[in-house]
Structure 1
Amino acid sequence: MSFQQGLSGLNAASKSLEAIGNNVANSGTVGFKQSQVQFADIYASTLSGSGAAQIGIGVQVARVAQLFSQGNIAVSNNPLDMAINGDGFFRMSSGGTITYGRNGQFELTKEGYIQNASGARLTGYMADANGVVQNGAPVELVINKADMGPQATSKYDVKLTLDSRKDVLNPLNFNPDDASTFSDSTSAPVYDSLGNSHILRTFYVKTAGGEWSVFATNDGVPIGYTLPVTATNPPVPIGTMDFGNGGALISTTPSPMVAQMVVTTGAATPFNITLNVTGTQQFAQAFGVSKNLPDGYRPGSLTGFDVASDGSIMGRYSNGQVNVLGQVILSSFANPNGLQNIGDNQWVETAESGVPLTSTPGSSGLGVVQSARIEESNVDLTAELVNMITAQRVYQANAQTIKTQDQIMQTLVNLR
């Protein structure tokens, strides 16, 4: 009987050494999850009762469990490298076969797909041309390298501090080329529907204690009236601003003020720009501009992209704009130990693992994604080397039981 016990112990210790050796071999594998051999004792079944002095007949491997604990996260120079901080797996597609993994070392194919070293493609949700993510059935993510089209300016946010100490001026004398006819001015680039740049300049003329007229020019051409200025064709402001005794803006006339831009570039003309002066104030201090933000932009080409913590792939364009190109998704399982390991740091779903819960990073208990990061193997090399020594001693001890039993058997054989 001891031969059977010792032999089972040798087999178990050997399996333990194999798992430890595999862990050590993959200690540098990104996204690798270490294995642990779990044992169970063996007892012979009896037909009647239970023996109080029953002795087991050895040991067996109950299962080889993978420990899905978090690995250390290291910095990478590749913006496509991603690490999951928390629960979840990347959902991959390989020829229609869905696999799952923690290795976030990705590269871009010539077609724009995001794939790993084994050719499996990362899946998620794509975004439309306006950067709106289209939730639904996951698809293979592809980076759209098309240029971003222009957007005409429609709103101009400007927040000013006007100097109440300025002299009162006659708005009928306004001349954009004569600084003595206006109190202050500011300018900003705006864009037509073809992306051509124009300079919208606004002028502020103090006409009374708490009243200011606002004039505007488009590339130096007056807006709202034509040149030359005459008694019957006076300069016309695009609006006026009224301030209270405390210096706060009370109202604008009209509300809102609008600059009508006439262009000859072949773009849509005229196009209107709403002037938003919310927060503008009048104090006894020097003129200042705290906000000068028109919307709209010229065309731009894709210069790079990053992945946000929620999996959003943010494209950066040469025109300074940022647009969402897609969103990475993650999957989790009720029993990750039920997944079948198919190599290449990938697993497939089984009946034991349960169906995947798939959602965006940071939701439904899933971890977040960190760009330009990799998750290192969770193997503790020091602990594995200690385990290796222990497994070796166990193997030697079981071999000794077989040797001892052999000596006893030899003694019996030699009896006369």
Structure 2
Amino acid sequence: MMQSLYTASTGMLGMQTQIDTTANNIANVNTIGFKKSRAEFSDLMYKVMSYAGTATSDVTKSPTGIEVGLGVRPTAINKIFSEGSLKQTDNQLDVAITGRGFFKLELPDGTEVYSRNGAFKVDDNGSMVNSDGYKLVPEIVIPPDATDISIGTDGTVTVVQPGQTQATQIGQITLTNFINPAGLHSRGDNLYLETDSSGQPVEGTPGVDGLGVLRQGFVELSNVELVVELTDLITGQRAYDSNSKVITTSDEMLQTTNNLKR
């Protein structure tokens, strides 16, 4: 059987992975805090028919050899944590991160997760939570009679209550950073889980030790660039088509060989 059939099939599978990754990026172009992914590939092993340096005579050697590649394989789908654009909302509970870092949230079972989505709300107890009701850590409780909420660039949360002339500090939003954010596990719902590859979480005050600062009244948009994604979609489709043509050509060559008997 011709090796090109199997080689081209690995190319088709690889391009399908790229198109699937691109499709997910495009689908989340309007998802707050979403970070795009990029499929990465490497070539497979080679069938060596003649090694470079093999003697071709008593005094000469082959300068290149003969090696035929066996295809391609996906090696990684890398999450890219470049910053997205900021959108002003004028919502006092919307907070965007400018720079590095994640908000830490707590699931109902106590698991700690991390997110760049700062579109917060308050639950029935006044706690700041995300859209799914997961509490911000450390917990911040907004008094029910608060007339104004202020979140500083360093994460300081203050409120003004009736009868007061000065704001009262009620909490501090912290950020968490990882040495390798691309190693985080994507849980869905704009949430990430720590892994051995991400490194240990390092928590700190916004604006200190390389952490980003906070912007109240803004949300961070997806970092997906549609022009780039559509270009990747076109190149992936063309590469998929080209690999399918290789299979068709190989099949026609086999058919020609089979017809030699006639």
Query: Would you say 1:371 and 2:216 are equivalent positions?
Result: yes
Task: With the length of structure 1 as denominator, give the TM-score of the two structures.
Answer: 0.57
Q: Deviation at 1:317?
A: 2.3
TM-score where L is the length of structure 2: 0.90
Tell me which protein shows more helix as a share of its residues: 2
The CA deviation string for residues 109-164 of structure 1, in whole angstroms up to 9 with x for no partner, is 1101111112211113xxxxxxxxxxxxxxx222244xxxxxxxxxxxxxxxxxxx
8 Å Cα contact 2:47/2:70 also seen in 1: no
Q: Runs of 5+ in structure 1 lacking a partner?
A: 125-139, 146-300
In the alignment, is residue 104 of structure 1 matched against residue 123 of structure 2?
A: no
Q: Out of 28, 31, 56, which is 1:29 matched to?
A: 31
* 2:18 is equivalent to residue 4 of structure 1: no
Structure 2 gaps of 5+ residues are 53-63
Deviation at 1:49, TM superposition (A): 6.3
Equivalent position of 1:216 in the other structure: none
Partner of 2:130: 116
SS at match of 1:366: coil
DSSP-derived class of the 1:326 partner? strand
Secondary structure, aligned partner of 1:399: helix
Aligned with 1:305 (options 135, 142, 149): 149
Residue 17 of structure 1 aligns to which amino acid in structure 2?
A: I
Amino acid at match of 1:115: V
After superposition, the Cα gap between the structure-2 partners of 1:123 and 1:45, relative to the gap in structure 1 and judged at 3 Å, is farther
Alignment deviations for residues 309-343 of structure 1 (CA, whole Å, 9 cap, x no partner)? 00000111232211111010101111111100000
Matched to 2:152, the amino acid is A
SS, match of residue 66 in structure 2: coil
Q: State the Cα deviation string for residues 331-373 of structure 1 (Å, max 9, x = none).
A: 1111111100000000000000000110010011000011110
In 1: Cα distance, 2:127 partner to 2:251 partner: 64
Per the alignment, residue 411 of structure 1 pairs with 256
How do 1:214-363 and structure 2 match up within 5 A? Answer: 302-318=146-162, 319-363=164-208
AA in 1 matched with 2:199 = G
Whether contact under 8 Å (2:97, 2:214) holds in the other structure is yes
Structure 2 partner of 1:170: none
1:55 is paired with a residue of what secondary structure? strand
Q: Which has the higher strand share?
A: 1
**Offset of 1:304 from its aligned partner?**
2.1
Counterpart amino acid of residue 43 in structure 1: M
Cα root mean square deviation, aligned: 1.6
SS of alignment partner, residue 143 of structure 1: coil
2:87 is matched by which residue type in structure 1?
Answer: A
Distance in 2, Cα, partners of 1:344 & 1:14: 24
Counterpart CA distance in 2 for 1:64 and 1:70 is 18
Amino acid at match of 2:141: V
Q: Which amino acid aligns with 1:37?
A: A
Count matched residues: 245
- Look up the SS of the partner of 2:251 in the other structure: helix
Aligned residue type for 1:4: Y
Q: How does 1:44-123 map to 2 (within 5 A)?
A: 44=46, 52-95=65-108, 96-123=110-137
